[in-house]
Chain A
Amino acid sequence: MSTLQVSLYRYNPETDSAPYMQEFQIDTQGRDLMVLNVLELIKEQDSTMVYRRSCREGVCGSDGMNMNGKNGLACVTPLSDVVRNNKLVLRPLPGLPVIRDLVVDMGIFYRQYERIQPYLQNDDPTPAIERLQSPEDRDKLDGLYECILCACCSSSCPSFWWNPDKFVGPAGLLQSYRFLADSRDTATRDRLADLEDPFSVFRCRGIMNCVSVCPKGLNPTRAIGKIREMLLTNAT
């Protein structure tokens, strides 16, 4: 069967008093398309349907959305990975305000990222060449720096849904640890001090939704565990 039943979340603030689900029949011609390709086919039928997209290869993080109940990137999710009983339900990332259709307001997500001061801090005089870093120290950044800020993790996290203003969330904390783990960064003490409250880090309950949805295979829960360890060591 090559006709896919797509159920799509629709909301246009100018015309709709409430969101609704709209059904589309999409002829996939038997191909195992990416979910993004299905959205492109829908947009050809109905140009008013909106979503974000850019690189279409899983590195820019634009097209995070909820596909049959699980967050992921539409451009690197083949239908065969998510479609069950020939049905695909597409919704915006949960827990963030919807601007229109699949486009969410990511403001609060970005503010938590900015809050952790996501840039290298080192007040030592800069050398004439690069700062040296051993391959072993550089290896510590693997699994951290690759984050694409798609928000799939934070918007799958109940702790972030409840306290998006106080809990930094998995994406922000992964980046926080990326700088804590960098042998070139000298702001460890300040970075930890800024996280030392009941909410910023400790609202994580370790349910690992973030790990299960990360399209880059990263592990924010592990990074949060490392930050907890550093905070506890620091406190004693």
Chain B
Amino acid sequence: MSMRSLTFDAIIIGGGGSGLRAALELAKSGKKTAVLSKVFPTRSHTVSAQGGITCAIASADPNDDWRWHMYDTVKGGDYITDQDAAEYMCSEGPKSVFELEHMGLPFSRFDNGRIYQRPFGGQSKDFGKGGQAARTCAAADRTGHALLHTLYQNNLKNNTTFLNEWYAVDLVKNANNDVVGCIAMCIETGEVVHVKSKATVLATGGAGRIYASTTNALINTGDGIGMALRAGFPMQDMEMWQFHPTGIYGAGVLVTEGCRGEGGYLVNKDGERFMERYAPNAKDLAGRDVVARSMVMEILEGRGCGEKGDHVYLKLDHLGEEVLGKRLPGIVELSKTFAAADPAKEPIPVVPTCHYMMGGIPTNVHGQAIMQDADGKDQIINGLFACGEAACVSVHGANRLGGNSLLDLVVFGRAAGMYIEGALNEGIDYLDASQSDIDSALARMNRWNESGNGESIPALRAELQDIMQTSFGVFRQEDHMQEGVKKLADLRGRIAEAHLPDKSNAFNTARVEALELDNLMEVAEATAISALERKESRGAHSRYDYPDRDDANWLKHSIYFPLEKRLGKRDVNFKPKTVDTFEPKVRTY
């Protein structure tokens, strides 16, 4: 049976914030583009973002300055943030936020009618010398929902083509290693097609589902990362996973940092506001990595709450029902549903929970994916782009600041769209894929479709998640990680022989879960090997056996090569164009 092919100038894989922002740019340009998303776009994980989008729009503070935001971002990333990228994001940010407002995003407002901004973790005025800033623009505590729906609505307005509930299986490369499209499956019918495209944008988001406990949606399986790794392309800083301080104990559901921005704080079983000891200045609004580690220390030292002493409390009752109802209505709802606690009366049980992948596909500020040549020099991958959480530009370095994720999505989604439009105008001409190129991209799907017996997909997935949770959590050490890497290698062999019992075509979600499992495996292994090899502690990567930051050896990005399963290094950019370099300093809050 011959396979149908669809041809586009650009295909955007993923319908979350960054994919929709890129799509909007391209739809306006009149290029033949489509968004391919495994869920209806407003079901993407951007919808779960709560607290806001951090940006120096100078609303709460008329003197606010994007350079202060850039300083916070570089410091927050423990100095492996690329300074040219942080400069681009922080300086271009206001334009992107105002644009969202013009599109209709229902931001909360100050009395003067300007956009409401709240304090978030790691924010300062005057390069850390002016105290806490309030820089996170919010639509109550539903900013991600408001942002995603606004972008979807504006794509409707601009007649973007959507392939909704389509699943991208693998990238298609030509003989020159250029990316010339992908293999994709229509979930409703099971039809598999060859999508030909001059530009392929991976906007597939994060992969928090490699951990047993995560704030991430069930769909966050790192599909783009898996596709890029299988195509042989490298990943950057994959050891850097953010554990959000406040996931609801047991359920893993996120409770926004905005709670602490509005005045909430964490307490241990003695009712002590323990962050005062760990971060005397910023307290509960220190960097997320710092707060998460402090919480784990409290628990390990026997000051955790509950029968098992394995969580702490987030106290909000002193804020009063009015503030909770006005600024944090979604949190009140989630806490009642998932913790059986009314925050107006009692604290919310919380525990650090896997939240965000700082690493990903290395790109430049135009979203062009990067690999290294034989001499270790950066080399653009023709035809491949990435933006949003799947990409590592890197604006987040070793630890992302709260509210910087939504900004990253819209700034770099837009940048990728603009760059692709320009490139298409100049003309892109890559060699077509041969039949054998297409066959290699189909191999994985065919393997599952032909599987006759073997282990079950849910069991293998649970095992993978347990390995990651046990060996690659908030604190890490050599022997546990070695054990984890060994177990993952074994698991890879077993997944390669696992069984897909349901071979039907119509809306076969078991097949989607099988294909997702391969991606979880790729992401987990890249994470594990990168974590084992980075022999220092920096940002979110904390090792008992190497407790200090080692700038002499590791003021670098890690770069993971999947074919050799080898970790190399890549230079961090210290050359912003319009401001002086922020030199690495000891990071305290």
Asked if chains A and B come from one complex, the reply is yes
Nearest CB on A from B544, distance (A): 33
The answer for the CA separation of A117 and B330 in the assembled complex, in Å, is 27
Closest B residue to A103 by beta carbon equals: B507
CB atoms of A138 and B109 under 8 A apart: yes
Contact with B along A129-148 (1 / 0, CB 8 A): 11111110010010001101
Q: Contacting chain B: which of A21-29, A53-61, A188-196, A204-212? A: A53-61
What B residues does A138 contact at CB under 8 A? 106-109
The answer for the CA separation of A147 and B114 in the assembled complex, in Å, is 24
CB atoms of B217 and A55 under 8 A apart: yes
- Which of B75-106 touch A at CB < 8 Å? 94, 97-98, 101-104, 106
Does A48 count as interface, using CB distance less than 8 angstroms? yes
Binding site of A, secondary structure by majority: helix, strand, loop or mixed? loop
CB atoms of A61 and B502 under 8 A apart: no
Do A99 and B108 form a contact, CB below 8 Å, given A47-B457, A130-B101?
A: no
Does B381 count as interface, using CB distance less than 8 angstroms? no
Q: How many residues of B contact A (CB 8 A)?
A: 60
The answer for the CA separation of A61 and B41 in the assembled complex, in Å, is 11
Does B510 count as interface, using CB distance less than 8 angstroms? yes
- Which of B448-471 touch A at CB < 8 Å? 456-458
Does B534 count as interface, using CB distance less than 8 angstroms? no
Does B195 count as interface, using CB distance less than 8 angstroms? no
Nearest CB on A from B108, distance (A): 7
CB atoms of A119 and B106 under 8 A apart: no
The answer for the CA separation of A199 and B504 in the assembled complex, in Å, is 40
Do A119 and B104 form a contact, CB below 8 Å, given A12-B506, A15-B504?
A: yes
Do A130 and B115 form a contact, CB below 8 Å, given A61-B42, A138-B109?
A: yes
CB atoms of A43 and B458 under 8 A apart: yes
CB atoms of B102 and A126 under 8 A apart: yes
Does A203 count as interface, using CB distance less than 8 angstroms? no
Which of B48, B337, B501, B504 contacts A76, CB < 8 Å?
Answer: B337
What B residues does A119 contact at CB under 8 A? 103-104, 150, 153-154, 156-157
Contact with A along B134-176 (1 / 0, CB 8 A): 0000010010011001100110110000000000000000000
What A residues does B114 contact at CB under 8 A? 129-130, 132
Does B505 count as interface, using CB distance less than 8 angstroms? yes
Do A134 and B113 form a contact, CB below 8 Å, given A60-B42, A119-B103?
A: yes
What B residues does A12 contact at CB under 8 A? 504, 506
Does A100 count as interface, using CB distance less than 8 angstroms? yes
CB atoms of B45 and A145 under 8 A apart: no
The answer for the CA separation of A132 and B112 in the assembled complex, in Å, is 8
Nearest CB on B from A231, distance (A): 22
The answer for the CA separation of A78 and B502 in the assembled complex, in Å, is 29
Contact with B along A110-133 (1 / 0, CB 8 A): 100010011110100010111111
Which of B45, B145, B502 contacts A148, CB < 8 Å?
Answer: B145
The answer for the CA separation of A114 and B334 in the assembled complex, in Å, is 29
Which of A43, A52, A122, A129 contacts B98, CB < 8 Å?
Answer: A129
The answer for the CA separation of A51 and B510 in the assembled complex, in Å, is 10
Does A4 count as interface, using CB distance less than 8 angstroms? no
Does B47 count as interface, using CB distance less than 8 angstroms? yes
Nearest CB on B from A172, distance (A): 13
Of A59, A133, A135, the most chain B CB neighbours within 10 A belong to A59
The 6 closest A-B pairs by CB, nearest first: A120-B104, A132-B113, A130-B101, A119-B153, A47-B510, A60-B43
Taking beta carbons and an 8 Å cutoff, which residues of B are in contact with A?
39-40, 42-45, 47-48, 57, 94, 97-98, 101-104, 106-115, 139, 142, 145-146, 149-150, 153-154, 156-157, 188, 217-219, 251, 253-254, 330, 333-334, 337-338, 456-458, 501-502, 504-510
Query: In the complex, given contacts A135-B109, A179-B104, what are 10 additional A-B residue pairs having Cβ atoms less than 8 angstroms apart?
Result: A14-B506, A43-B510, A52-B39, A56-B253, A61-B43, A99-B188, A106-B40, A119-B153, A131-B102, A182-B104
Pairs A–B under 8 Å by Cβ, sample size 22: A14-B505, A15-B504, A47-B456, A54-B217, A55-B217, A59-B48, A60-B39, A62-B39, A99-B507, A110-B40, A119-B150, A119-B153, A122-B102, A132-B112, A132-B113, A134-B109, A134-B111, A141-B106, A145-B106, A145-B149, A148-B47, A148-B145
Taking beta carbons and an 8 Å cutoff, which residues of A are in contact with B?
12-15, 43-44, 47-48, 50-62, 76, 78, 99-101, 103, 106, 110, 114, 117-120, 122, 126, 128-135, 138, 141, 145-146, 148-149, 179, 182, 184-185
